[in-house]
Amino acid sequence: MHKYLTCVLSTAIALVALSLPANAVDGEITREITSNEILELAARGDTLWMVTANGLNYTLGDNQPLQWWGYKTNIYDEFHWDVDSGVIHFGIAIGSELALVPKALPENNEPNGIWTYDHATDNIRSIDLPWNREKFSESLRDSVSLNTRDIVWTPEAFWTATENAGIVRLEPEDIRGGIPSPSVAYPGIDSVFAFDNFPPPAFDSLFTPSKKVVRIGATFDTAGNTTLYAVTAPRVYTFSVQNDAWDTLGTTLSSSNDSIERFIEVFARRRNSRDQILAICQIESKPKLCIYDTTTASWTRLISNTVHDMSFGDSDTVYAVTQAGEIEAFAIGTKDKLPISEDFAQRLNQADPNIQVPAVEDVAFERIDSSTAYMWIATTDGLYFSTDPREDEREKQPLTREHRAPALESGLQRTYFYPTILAPYQTNQRGYFAYNLSESADVTIAVYDWNMDHVKTIIENEPREKGSDRRDGRSTIKLEDHWDGNDRHGKPVAPGVYYYKISSNKGERAFGKIVVAK
Amino acid sequence: MVRSWWQNKPVPGRWLAVILIGGAFLLTDASSYVGGLTDAYLRPPVGAEAQALGNTNITSPAYMMSMINPAASSELSMGSGRISFGGGMRALGRADGNLSMDFRVLSRLGLGVAILYRGDPSITIMDAQEEKVGEAAYTTVTSKVSLSYPISRHLAVGAGLGMYYQNVPASDDPYGFSEEDGPVEYSYAFSIGGIDLGLRYQWRKDITFAAVVQNLLARNDWQFKRYDLGDLQQTSSSAYPVALMLASTVQRELQGRPFIWHASLKSYLLNELSFEGYDRLQRVSALLSNGFEWRYWDNITLRAALSDIPLDTDIFTDFQTYSDNFSAGLGFGAAIDLVKVHPGLSVDYALSLNKILAGVEQQINIVYSFQSTKRSLR
């Protein structure tokens, strides 16, 4: 008897233990897009990383359909969110599938460190750089900010922009497993210091708060020439990795009566042995995209609209993402606007005519070879991409939409309405019913109020396919079965909780909840 | 004692009945299509007794009188009263809780106080990105205070004042493109001022009529943020529809045991349409309910109801539509005297089918009566 009791108790304890989280990490490894709100892209070859509102994702473009790996977490708690440009930056290494993201800025003055995701091992690591404040002089010890703001990858290393301590070099191998042994380069000091030797004795005399590095860019070529571009508010510093030498770019704005109030972000690439340098500059209190002319050492405004992000395109093309969520394209050489903007909206719409054209957050173009090129477009409602290698965007085929559509168990075992909180009083918003039939059937969806009084029949005996044959595992496509918060007479219902019933003529049925907000 | 003229002349009960029931159609330009109106959470029966009787216990509610008929506390004798509390679990996670106290406070004045909680404490919130944002709750609290006055041995009137509170999850991200899924925000509405008027007329010893107007001038004063306008704090006011209920109770015997038939007709006088104030509902209709009580044992009363049968013009003009949309409530319950446990103590239980067959609705109430009352079945 005692033996059986022990066995039962052990089983019960084991079941309880199994039901507990496996570890204490906030996020979880996932094999789907973590959110359809995609904030930032980074592409190298056919590898694409993206930061979404709910985590980090990774895919290889040579898998069709795309397969996703990722880490789901509250990005605003985990990653650094920059208040200026509202974007998150990270670096990746070709072939190693390793992403680095600055961790969220802590409330105290402690360094934030770096967060890494290694796809090869699905390993999530938090790295704190071994800063030692005691090495700074007393006047700087408490005030110096050692937060990591941005990360860029070059073939040699990862480079992080550290607010008051210049650029930190991190070796990928160290980051992957070992104890990092970084080195530091500070604007104006033509040397690279081992961490133990930083800051150097002359640091106090060279230190100024305005040298707060907030963004970093890099160019490199096959000959081993690497240049880093460190953005501070008043100017952009350059650092030659081979020569350990610092310089600055000019700060004047040509062909305009305006001036650059501050630099926000820099984008650079090497093409035909020359660096193409663009920056988002604040002009007239608005972020504008400027291009740098090395011969005149001055900047030229490239686009009149305010800019949110940009990416280099094929050959001479630059894609700018405006703050209105649209894409505009320019030729770097002539600085002419290319007539493709309308086509992008059209192509986004063609990719999925059932949804409204979403706002573009970021764009990335990557040419693999003469027959393969990827155009990745991050939007507020999914990722769009094309593999059409032609340069002229007007001629390209419609884009393909990739989005997160969590598979729903068949047989209406799980249904939901999203957004659960409808705000029709404020936005004329409507929400959608997500469900998955186990077999194709005629479906009726009706909405009821708290007293189960009938409010509206959404669809009545409409044929719907079983979801298991569809890629996203649902029987309705977005916008197909929706409710706008009006009753059967077209009048808005009162704020409160409403209940829906989905039933099929094959006997399946499910219920769910909808909140109508004031 | 000098009697008023109307106290000397008995009211012609049968004509009153005809007028009241006929008036349900004549006075109301109402509709059974009440789904989505402000008072959805107030429509279900309040308390286990009301649920078991399909909301027909309007002439003589045993408790929650302020919520059901403000004239009812006139039934209590001097120095007596009832206290009840209870709750309910409804299909799809909805919940009830209620508390009431009804007394005879002066020689001819009855006082009732009732508090009703209703809501849905567990709502999983998904945003437009199909991400689970968190859990939220929908909460309402309604309180009513009523006074009743017996004008004569047959006729009593009452009036009540209501307080209405609603707390509804709100979206700080109406477009679903948020930068952050923060904690769920809430909008709330609070107002005092809804008026209930009740009338109870005992035509004969075994037949009683009642008429109640509920939520007259009741409004929802909403405080909410316009997130699409930079979190602008705003207010707006909207009205509750006014409900008119006419009811009758007939006492008889079935197999030598007391048997009561309750009937009620409920309709809505006015509809509130968004921001435009009062408007009349489009269709003529009302809900007919029947409830039955049978005291087969001395300490157990059995209850059943067939309620919310729609009476609208489709019966005559579009019977097919009427039959397609037909729905009715079916409920059962029992009241058990716990005299052996404590004098005056009883428990009510009700079970009814959810109208859309999503489960069952249950309510239970514990009732404590101090001193006896005139109510024949108790």
Q: What is the full DSSP assignment across A305-370?
A: S-EEEEEE-STTEEEEEETTS-EEEEETTT-PEETTHHHHHHHHHHH-TTSPPPPEEEEEEEEEET
- When scoring A426, A433, A476, A479 by the number of chain B Cβ atoms within 10 A, the one with the most, hence best to mutate, is A426
Say yes or no for a CB contact (<8 Å) between A426 and B226: yes
* Helix and strand numbers, DSSP H then E, in chain B: 6, 18
**What residues in A contact B125, CB-CB < 8 Å?**
419-421, 515
Nearest to B170 among A421, A429, A455 (CB): A421
Q: Got the DSSP string for B141-179?
A: EEEEEEEEEESSSSEEEEEEEEEEEEEEEE-S-TTS--S
The order of strands in the sheet holding A226-231 is A215-220, A226-231, A236-240, A245-248
Tell me if chain B has a CB within 8 Å of the CB of A406: yes
The verdict on B259 touching A (C-beta cutoff 8 Å) is: no
Q: Give the C-alpha distances (Å, rounded to integers) separating A387 from A65, A66, A369, A373, A377.
A: 12, 12, 11, 5, 12
- Which of A420, A455, A516 lies at the smallest CB-CB distance from B125? A420
Query: Residue A114 forms beta bridges with which residues?
Result: A102, A127
Query: Would the CB atoms of A418 and B127 count as touching at under 8 Å?
Result: yes
Q: Is B38 on the interface with A (CB under 8 A)?
A: yes
Question: Rounded distance, CA A437 to CA A415, Å?
Answer: 10
Least confident of A31-35, A62-66, B155-159: A62-66
Q: Is the pLDDT confidence value at B26 over 70?
A: no
Q: Rounded to whole angstroms, how far apart are CA atoms A46 and A144?
A: 40
- Look at A109-118, A190-199, A236-245, A310-319 and tell me which has the smallest mean pLDDT: A109-118
Cross-chain CB nearest to B41 (options A37, A74, A496): A496
Place B21 in a pLDDT band, splitting at 50, 70 and 90: low
Burial of A63 (0-12, 13-18, 19+ CB in 10 A): exposed
Averaged pLDDT for residues A64-91? 67
Can you give the length of chain B in residues?
Answer: 378
Q: Which residue has the higher pLDDT, B128 or B307?
A: B307
Which chain A residue is nearest to residue B135, measuring alpha carbons?
Answer: A420
B129: pLDDT strictly greater than 80:
no
Disruptive mutation site among B126, B312, B327 for chain A (greatest number of A CBs within 10 Å): B126
Residue A19 in this model has a pLDDT that exceeds 80: no
Instruction: Closest CB to B170: pick one of A494, A513, A517.
Output: A517
Cβ B286 vs Cβ B315: under 8 Å: no
Give strand pairing partners of B139: B119, B167
Q: Is the pLDDT confidence value at B149 over 90?
A: yes
Give the single-character DSSP code of B77.
P
pLDDT above 90 covers what percent of chain B? 51
Closest residue by Cα to residue B164 from B54, B238, B271: B238
Residues B263/B207, Cβ–Cβ less than 8 Å: no
Residue bearing the bigger pLDDT, B217 or B285: B217
CA distance A165 to chain B (A): 29
Q: Which residue of B has its CA nearest to A72?
A: B131
B261: confidence class by pLDDT, cuts 50, 70, 90: very high
Structure token pair of residue B110: 């009855």
Instruction: Using CA coordinates, name the residue in chain A closest to B120.
Output: A497
Q: How many CA atoms lie within 13 A of B7 on its CB side?
A: 9
What mean pLDDT do residues B83-94 have?
A: 95
d(C-alpha A399, C-alpha A355), whole Å: 14
Distance CA A217, CA A231 (A): 8
**What is the pTM for the complete model shown?**
0.67
Instruction: Give how far B290 is from chain A: nearest CA, Å.
Output: 18
Residue B69 CA to residue B59 CA, distance in Å, equals 7
Q: Is A378 on the interface with B (CB under 8 A)?
A: no
CA geometry: angle B21, B27, B33, nearest 5 deg? 90
pLDDT confidence tier of residue A471, bands split at 50, 70 and 90: low
B174 and A CB contact within 8 Å: yes
CA-based nearest residue to A494, from B239, B127, B178:
B239
Question: How many contacts does A have with B, using Cβ atoms within 8 A?
Answer: 184
In the prediction, which pLDDT does A178 show?
Answer: 58
Cα pseudo-dihedral A512, A513, A514, A517, rounded to 10: 180
B358 touches chain A (CB under 8 A): yes
- Using an 8 Å CB-CB cutoff, list chain B residues near A404: 129-130
Rounded to 5 degrees, what angle do the CA atoms A266, A271, A276 make? 30
The burial class, CB within 10 Å (0-12 / 13-18 / 19+), for A365 is buried
**Residue B67 burial (CB count, 10 A):** 27
Beta-bridge mates of residue B248: B209, B263
Q: What's the pLDDT score for residue B268? A: 76
pLDDT at B258 over 80: yes
Instruction: Determine contact: A359 vs chain B, CB below 8 A.
Output: yes
Name which of A76, A423, A453 is nearest B43 (Cβ-Cβ).
A453
- Mapped onto helix, strand or coil, the DSSP state of residue A15 is helix
Of B130, B175, B187, the CB nearest to A418: B130
Instruction: Please name which of A282, A295, A271 lies closest in space to residue A214, comparing C-alpha atoms.
Output: A282
CB contact under 8 A, B36 and A494: yes
Q: Say if the ipTM goes beyond 0.85.
A: yes
Name the strands in the sheet holding A47-52, side by side, starting at the edge strand that comes first in the sequence: A28-30, A69-72, A55-60, A47-52, A38-44
State the best of B116, B125, B130, B225 to mutate against chain A, taking most chain A CBs within 10 Å: B130
Nearest chain A alpha carbon to B188:
A518
* Strand order across the A98-102 sheet: A91-92, A98-102, A114-118, A123-127
* Probe site for chain B from A453, A503, A508 (most B CB atoms < 10 A): A453
A39 residue type, one letter: L
User: Of A404, A426, A493, which has the smallest distance from its Cβ to B130's Cβ?
Assistant: A404
- Chain B residue numbers with beta carbons less than 8 Å from the beta carbon of A457 are none
Q: What is the three-class DSSP state of A402? A: strand
Residue A449: which of B40, B118, B228 has the nearest Cβ?
A: B40
The Cα–Cα gap between A377 and A369 comes to 20
Tell me which chain A residue has its CA closest to the CA of residue B41: A450
- pLDDT given for residue B48 in this prediction: 96
Per the prediction, chain A carries an average pLDDT of 82
Our CA-based measurement puts residue B224 at a distance from the nearest CA of chain A, in whole angstroms, of 7
- Collect all residues with Cβ–Cβ distance below 8 Å to A115 and sequence separation of at least 6: A78, A79, A100, A101, A102, A103, A124, A125, A126, A127
Q: Kindly state the DSSP code that residue B92 receives in the 8-state scheme.
A: G
Helix boundaries (H) for chain B? 5-8, 13-27, 48-52, 65-68, 314-317, 319-325
Residue A92, both tokens = 């990746």
Residue in chain B lying closest to A433 (CA): B130
Report the gap between the CA of B37 and the closest CA in chain A (Å): 6
Residue B113 has a CB neighbour count (10 Å cut-off) of: 18
Compute the nearest-CA separation of B99 from chain A (Å). Answer: 20
In chain A, what residues touch B123 (CB-CB under 8 Å)? 420, 497, 513, 515
Residue A197 banded pLDDT, cuts 50, 70, 90: confident
Share of chain A above pLDDT 70, in %: 86
B279 to chain A: closest CA residue: A491
Find, among B347, B351, B341, the residue nearest to B367 by Cα. B347
- pLDDT surpasses 80 at B303: yes
Average pLDDT over residues A309-333: 88
A253-289: pLDDT as tens digits: 987 688 999 999 999 999 888 899 999 999 988 999 9
What's the pLDDT at A401? 86
B169 CB within 8 Å of a chain A CB: yes
